[in-house]
Amino acid sequence: MRIFGKGFNFAQDGPGNRFVYHLSGCNMRCLWCSNADGMDMAAGKEYSVEEVIKEALSCRPMFFSGGGVTFTGGEATLQAEELIKVLKALKKEGVHTCLETNATSKRLAEISEFVDYFIMDFKHFDSVVLKEYTGVGNETIKENFEALNKLRNQLHIRIPLINGVNAKNPQGFAEYFAKYSSPNTVYEFLLYHEYGKEKWQGEYKIKDGFVSKETLKSFVDTFEAFGLKTITT
Ligand code: SF4
């Protein structure tokens, strides 16, 4: 398993105190990515599945407030075989598992079975626009959204809001979500920031991505009007 970052955080990537693994490599190229140093599959270091399981289990005393282990990236599902092995082993040991994914994997429904808390990014409802800014369209992402809403009784959708990319049309998002959303699905908006800007090699192309409080409120209000539950973490 190739990993470029790991460490504890509290309630940012799943509930409680969690040990978070950042798996190397990503198939998207989001122009605002704050982990650009991990996009390359060669980033970080190789660990065996057994090493990861052993390390994760050794962190158990620290999993307070409903915590556990989170896998994110990069895009963790690019290493689906290893990821499933680790998730299965941790579940068997009673460890709470979380996955944070860009939702482009065809294997998400299969992986979902071993994930207690599922966080799925959704960056744009329009495939052409998504492809322009990330290099990938949203057909599989939508298939996954629709399938996971049927399969799971918990789903956390994360929407990064970026001025000039996706912050103009809350209605477009809400209309799509409302068609498929289960009552247990929650929506979180992540406001654009530039914390990862210095990690980019070459030109950082987002020029004015910051989003106003009014824009955020328009998303929250629109979602709530469609009966979609919004959260902040
Ligand atoms: S999906 Fe996430 S890790 Fe991949 S490029 Fe986009 S923001 Fe970065």
Q: Which of 28, 77, 124, 199 to mutate to test the pocket of ligand 1 (most atoms within 8 A of CB)?
A: 28
How far does residue 30's CA lie from ligand 1's centre (Å)? 5
pLDDT at 104: 98
Look up residue 233 and give its amino acid.
T
In 3-state terms, what secondary structure has residue 117? strand
Q: Computed over its alpha carbons, how large is the radius of gyration of the chain?
A: 17
How far does residue 73's CA lie from ligand 1's centre (Å)? 8
Of all residues in the chain, the percent with pLDDT exceeding 90 is 94
CA atoms of 68 and 93, how far apart (whole Å): 11
pLDDT at 233: 82
Find the distance separating the first CA and the last CA of the chain, reported in whole Å. Answer: 29
Going by DSSP bridges, is the β-strand pair 68-72/97-101 parallel, antiparallel, or unpaired? Answer: parallel
Q: What is the CATH number of the domain that holds 27?
A: 3.20.20.70
Would you state the structure tokens that stand for residue 110, as one six-digit string? 């299969």
Ligand 1 atom at minimal distance to the Cα of residue 36: 8
> What residues line ligand 1, using a CB cutoff of 6 Å?
26, 28-30, 33, 35, 39, 73-75, 102, 134
Ligand 1 atom at minimal distance to the Cα of residue 26: 4
How far does residue 53's CA lie from ligand 1's centre (Å)? 25
Would you state the structure tokens that stand for residue 197, as one six-digit string? 């800007």
CA atoms of 169 and 206, how far apart (whole Å): 19
Assess whether the previous peptide bond of 7 is cis (omega < 30° from 0): no
Going by DSSP bridges, is the β-strand pair 17-23/2-10 parallel, antiparallel, or unpaired? Answer: antiparallel
Q: Tell me the per-residue pLDDT of 51-71, one tens digit each, with 9 for 90 and over.
A: 999 999 999 999 999 999 999
CA atoms of 123 and 73, how far apart (whole Å): 16
Task: Note down pLDDT in tens along the chain; length 233 residues.
Answer: 999 999 999 999 999 999 999 999 999 999 999 999 999 999 999 999 999 999 999 999 999 999 999 999 999 999 999 999 999 999 999 999 999 999 999 999 999 999 999 999 999 999 999 999 999 999 999 999 999 999 999 999 999 999 999 999 999 999 999 999 999 999 999 999 998 888 888 788 999 999 999 999 999 999 999 999 999 98
Q: Tell me the per-residue pLDDT of 59-110, one tens digit each, with 9 for 90 and over.
A: 999 999 999 999 999 999 999 999 999 999 999 999 999 999 999 999 999 9
Would you state the structure tokens that stand for residue 104, as one six-digit string? 């482009």
> What's the domain range around 91?
2-231
Task: Specify the pTM.
Answer: 0.97
pLDDT at 202: 79
Q: Going by CA atoms, what residue is nearest to atom 3 of ligand 1?
A: 74
pLDDT at 198: 87
How far does residue 102's CA lie from ligand 1's centre (Å)? 7
Domain count, the chain: 1
Q: Going by CA atoms, what residue is nearest to atom 8 of ligand 1?
A: 33
CA atoms of 226 and 201, how far apart (whole Å): 41
Ligand 1 atom at minimal distance to the Cα of residue 160: 7
pLDDT at 108: 98
